[in-house]
Homo-oligomer: A and B are copies of this chain.
Amino acid sequence: MSMLTGEVNGKRVAMVCGIPMDVENCPVRDVMDNIGGKWNSLMILSLADGPLRFSQLRRLIPDISQRMLTQTLRDLQRDGYIHRTVYPTQPPSVEYALTDLGRSLLGLLKHFVDWSVENHGAIRAAREVYDAEA
């Protein structure tokens, strides 16, 4: 992980790991802008065990609004993490499933889940110290 200042399109920009952290040229930002959203990674985790329908997701994540559920699913579909299938039943049901890309990302997210559980205590402790002295 080395950082230096590099040149992209004649502009000086910060480099992290040899990747331009520039606003337009940074793949990390481009990816993060989607999956870093409030609901996006939770959605991918929720689909880990298999496809779910719209209303199943809504029940699984009770504190998401329908509006944000729709939008999150669209965003994830657009970037290729999930696939949307409509079954012509009565009433029509819609199923959301992880793609290969989505499962690949899920592998990363699992590590993140483990890390969160391991370090949750330390974070809560740090928070209390900070709040006490402020």
Contacts and interface: CB of A to CB of B under 8 A. Distances in A.
A126 B110 CA distance: 23
| Interface of A, helix, strand, loop or mixed by DSSP | helix
A101 B80 contact: no
B41 A32 contact: yes
Nearest to A28: B116
A117 B19 CA distance: 8
Interface in A28-65: 28-34, 36-38, 41-42, 45-46, 48-49, 60-63
Contact of A79 (B42, B115, B127): B127
B80 A113 contact: no
A123 B80 contact: yes
B127 A80 contact: yes
